[in-house]
Amino acid sequence: MEKTAKWDSKKIGEFALNYALYIILVVMLIVVICINPRFLSISNFMRILTQASTRIILALGAAGLIVLAGTDLSAGRILGCSAAVTASLVQATTYGSRMYKFENDLPLIVPLLASIAVAMVFCVINGFGVAKLHLHAFIVSLGTQLIAFGCTCIYINSQEGGAQALSTFNSTFNYWVTEGIDFGSFELPFLIIYAAIAVVVMYFIWNKTTLGKNMFAIGGNPEAASVSGVSLTKNIIGVYIVAGVLYGIAAFLEAGRIGSVNTGTGLNYDTDAISGCVIGGVSFSGGVGTIPGVVIGVVILQVINYAFNFLGIDPYLQYIIRGLIIILAVSIDVRKYIAKK
Amino acid sequence: MAESYLLEMRDLEKEFPGVKALNKANLLLRKGTVHALMGENGAGKSTLMKCLFGIYEKDAGSIKIEGQETHFNNPKDALDHGVAMVHQELNQVLRRSVMENMWLGKFPGKGGFVDHKKMYQDTLNVFKRLEVNIDPKQIIGDLSVSQRQMVEIAKAVSYNAKILVLDEPTSSLTNEEVEHLFKIINKLRADGVGIIYISHKMEEILRISDDVTIMRDGQWVSTTPAKDLTTEQIINMMVGREMSDRFPPKTNKPGKVLMKVEGLTGKYMPTCIDVSFELREGEVLGVAGLVGSRRTELLETIFGVAHREKGKITLQGKEVYNHNSMEAIKNGFALLTEERRATGIIPLQSITFNAVISNLKAYRNKIGLLINKKMEDDTNWVIKSMNVKTPSTKTHIKSLSGGNQQKVIIGRWLLTKPTVLLLDEPTRGIDVGAKYEIYQLIDQLAAEGKGVMVVSSEMPELIGICDRILVMSNGHMAGILDVKEDLKGGMQEEIMRLAAKYI
C-alpha cells in the first residue's frame, strides 16, 4: 500500500516538473484574476498576445542561437536598426519632414525585404564569427550590438532635419500592422496571425527539416555532428540566417506597432527574448529547447508585464518580481535534467 | 602471388613537431576478415587511423582501397566511400533520439525536409539485421553504454560500410554483450566486410580476429594469423621486452578489519541494495559484476557522492557517515572515478593543478593563500613515485597519454593520505605497460596497509591482483570469493555464476 502511495507522489512530482511552465502561467493568471476579476476579458488577452507577438518572432530567432549553445546580445539593436530602415521607407507621403521624398508609397514588400536584409547582414556577421572565427556567440554579438547601434544612430541622424524620431507612417502600412480581422464582437489582430504563422513555420523548421535536426545535433554535441559529416559552418550560418529573417520581420512589425522609431528602439529586447527562451526551457548548455516552450516563455513574461501594470504595481517592484520569476522558472525547469544519486 | 587486399596501407609516415608518430607503418586488411590492430597507447594506432580517415595528412606512404590509391579529406568523405569507424568515446547527441543519431549527417527526405517514417523504418531494418532490440524513438542518453555502442555500430552498417574500424568496442561491455557484439561482427564478416579491431583485451582478440598486426613506437612490428599467436607473444611484441607475467607478484599481507559495511542501501535507483562486507588492512578487494550490476553505485554510496538510504559503515572501529565528498576525504576515503576524461582530469590545466586539487587545504599559509613551493614539491613527489612521464609539471594534463593521466589522478588521491582507496576501472583504456605499473602501485598501497577496492570489468585483472573478489548482481551482493592461486582456472566461471544470481 505504502509503496503505491509513494509512487503516486513521485509521479505527481514528475508531472509538476514536466509541466512547470504551464502551471506557473496558470497560477499567475489565477492570482491576478483573484486580485482583480476584471482582468478576465478577451480584450485583455488579445492585448497581451498582440504585445507579445513581435517579441515571440524575435525570440524564435534568438532561440535557435541558444540551442546552438550560443546567445545573442545584439538582437535588440539589430531590431532597432531594421526598424529604423523600415520606418524611413513607410513614412506617409503627406508628411513634410519625411526622410525620403518619394511621390508615392512604396509597395510594402520593399521595406519588409530591406528590413530583413539589414537584419540578415548583422546575423551573418554573428554567424561567421561563431562558425568561422570560432568566437563565442556572447563575444561576437557584444560587438555587433555596438555596430548595429552605431549604424542606427548614423542613419537616423542623416535626415535633413537632423536627429528626430521616424514617425507618421502611411495608411497601408498602419492597416496591415495595427488592424485585424473583424469577427463582429471581437477583432483578431493581424500581428497575432503573423506571430502564429511564424510559430508554425519555425516548428516545422526545428522538427521536420535537416537544418533543424542538425541545429540540435551541433548544440548537443558538435563533435558527434562533425564526425557524422554535418557541416558545422553551413548549418550554424543557416540558423543565423533564419534568425536574421525573423529579426527583420519582427523589426518591420514592431516599427508599425510602436508607430515611431528612434535610436532607443530595441533596447533590452534581446534580454527579453533571451529571458523568454530560458523561461521556456531552452537550455544555455545547448541542444535542448522547443518552440511551444519559447512561445509560453515569452507569453509568461508579457503576462507579468501586463498584469502588473493592470494591477497598478509599482514599476520598480515589477523589475524585482520579474527577476525572481526568471530565476524561479528556470531553476524549476533545469531540475528535469538533474539526475539524482 | 600477391593476394588482393581490401585495404592496403603501406609505409605510412607522419611527423609531428618533435615526434615521429608513424614510421613505416603497414596495415593489410583482407576482405571478410577481422584484423586486430594492437600496440600500447602511443604506438601509433590512432594516428594510423586518423591518416586513413583524413583527419591527419600523411607525410608519406600509400593508402589503397580495393587496389585504388585513395585519399579522404575528412571522416564524412570516408563514410561516403564505405569506410566507417566506431570510436571508443561514443560521439552522440545525448538528448536526441536513437534514429536521429543514426541518420545524422544523411537524414532521409527531400528538399531539406526530413522523412520521419522512412527514418524510423530504416532504423528498424538495420536493427533487425543486427538483431538489436532498441526503440528508435528513445532518447539515446537514456540507453546503457552497450546499447549506445550497438547504435554506433548500426550507424556504421547503415552506411553500407565495407571497412569498419572498431576502437576498443568492448571496453564497457559485459561478457554477454560482448557475445552479442561478436555475433554482429561474425555476421558482418560473413557479408564480406573488412573489420579493423583495436583492443587491448588479448582473450577477445585471439578469439575474434583472423590476423593480428602489432605496432610499436609508430612502427610496424608484425602481422600474424591469430591462430599462431599466444597472449604472451603478443605482449612481448607490443612491449618489446620480456614480460614473464601480466601481473606483478603480490607482496601485500591482509591484516585486521579496516572497514565494515553493513546493509548499505542507496536512496535513488539504480543503486546498491543491502550490501555487507569487510575490508581488511592491506587487502585488495575486487568488485566484479556485469555492466549495470551497480558496482560504481556501490563505491559512490560508500564515498557519499550518492545518497544513502540506510546501512552502516565503520572505519577502524568508528562509525563514519559520508554525506558528500568533502566529508569522505576528511574521513580518509579516496574515489578514483570511472570516466577519467569526464570526471577525473581537468584537461586544460597543468599537472600540478590536477595533482593538488583535492588537497588544497594542505597548502594554505596563515592568511589562506596557497604556497606554490609546497604544491610543486608534492607534484614532483607524484611524478616521481608514480613514474609519470611528462616534460614538466606545467604541462597540460590533456597532452599526456591515458596511463600517465591516470597515474596523476591516483597521485592526487594519495596526497590526501587516504586509508581506503576506491578505484573504479583504474586501468580502462590504458596500455599494457602502464597497466602493469598501476598493478604494482595498487599492490604497493596495500602493502603499506591501506584498504583498496578495485572495480573492473576484466576478470583476469581482478583475479591477478586481488585477494578477494566481491561479486555484484543487479544491485545485490551475490557473494565474496577468495582468490587462491590454484583455483584461477575455475574462478571466472564461479564469478559469472554469481554475477547472474539476481537477474
Q: What ipTM score was computed for the predicted complex, to two decimals?
A: 0.75
| pLDDT of res. A197 | 97
Closest listed residue to residue B321, CA positions, set B337, B301, B340, B341: B301
Chain B nearest C-alpha distance from A219 (Å): 9
Nearest to B268 among A221, A228, A341 (CB): A341
If you write DSSP's letter for every residue of A224-253 in order, what string do you get? HHHHTT--HHHHHHHHHHHHHHHHHHHHHH
Both ends of chain A: CA-CA distance in Å? 25
| pLDDT of res. A2 | 44
| Contact by Cβ (8 Å): A59, A276 | yes
* Domain presence at residue A324: yes
B1 pLDDT band, cuts 50/70/90, is very low
Contacts of B360 (CB under 8 A, 6+ apart): B370
* CA B293 from centre of chain: 17
- How many CB atoms sit inside 10 A of residue A241's CB? 16
Lowest mean pLDDT among B4-18, B45-59, B251-265, B457-471: B4-18
CA angle A246, A248, A253 (to 5 degrees): 95
Question: Each residue of A276-311: pLDDT tens digit?
Answer: 998 888 988 888 899 999 999 999 889 888 888 888
A338, three cell numbers:
538533474
Contact A217 B96 (CB under 8 A): yes
Same domain, B502 and B378: no
Same domain, B266 and B224: no
Q: Taking all residues of chain B, what is their mean pLDDT, rounded to a whole number? A: 87
Domain count, chain A: 1
| pLDDT of res. A43 | 86
Top pLDDT among B337 and A150 is at A150
Nearest to A230 among B87, B96, B105 (CB): B105
Checking if the pLDDT of A215 tops 70, the result is yes
| pLDDT of res. B243 | 45
- Chosen for mutation from A18, A68, A203, A228 (greatest number of chain B CBs closer than 10 Å) is A228
Domain count, chain B: 3
Same domain, B19 and B110: yes
* Domain presence at residue B319: yes
- A161 shares contact with chain B (CB less than 8 Å): no
B122 pLDDT band, cuts 50/70/90, is very high
Same domain, B428 and B281: yes
Nearest to B307 among A213, A214, A341 (CB): A341
Domain-ending residue, one of B389, B417, B445: B417
Give the CATH number for residue A239: 1.10.3470
Contact residues, chain B, for A217 at CB < 8 Å: 93, 96, 100, 104
Percentage above 70 pLDDT, chain B: 95
* Domain presence at residue A174: yes
* Domain presence at residue A251: yes
Burial of residue B111 (number of CB atoms within 10 Å: 0-12, 13-18, 19+): exposed
Question: Each residue of A127-185: pLDDT tens digit?
Answer: 999 999 999 999 999 999 999 999 999 999 998 878 889 989 999 999 999 999 988 87
- B95 shares contact with chain A (CB less than 8 Å): yes
Contacts of B389 (CB under 8 A, 6+ apart): B400, B401, B404
Checking if the pLDDT of B9 tops 50, the result is yes
Same domain, B164 and B290: no
When pLDDT is averaged across residues B225-249 and rounded to a whole number, the result is: 75
Same domain, B347 and B496: no
Contact B94 A221 (CB under 8 A): yes
Same domain, B142 and B37: yes
Domain-ending residue, one of B417, B439, B461: B417
Contact B107 A213 (CB under 8 A): yes
* CA B342 from centre of chain: 12
| pLDDT of res. B492 | 76
Percentage above 90 pLDDT, chain A: 60
* Domain presence at residue B246: no
pTM (2 decimals)?
Answer: 0.77
Same domain, B404 and B303: no
Question: Each residue of B433-443: pLDDT tens digit?
Answer: 788 889 999 99
Same domain, B290 and B153: no
Give the CATH number for residue B481: 3.40.50.300
Nearest to B93 among A224, A229, A340 (CB): A224
- B96 shares contact with chain A (CB less than 8 Å): yes
A3 pLDDT band, cuts 50/70/90, is very low
When pLDDT is averaged across residues B6-18 and rounded to a whole number, the result is: 83
Same domain, B304 and B346: no
Contact A225 B305 (CB under 8 A): no
Burial of residue B490 (number of CB atoms within 10 Å: 0-12, 13-18, 19+): exposed
Q: Provide the β-strand partners of residue B20.
A: B15
Q: HSE of B101 in the Cβ direction (CA atoms, 13 Å)?
A: 31
Cell 503505491, residue located = A4
* Domain presence at residue B1: no
When pLDDT is averaged across residues A238-242 and rounded to a whole number, the result is: 97
Q: What domain range includes position B474?
A: 255-332+419-503
| pLDDT of res. B486 | 55
| pLDDT of res. A1 | 42
B430 pLDDT band, cuts 50/70/90, is confident
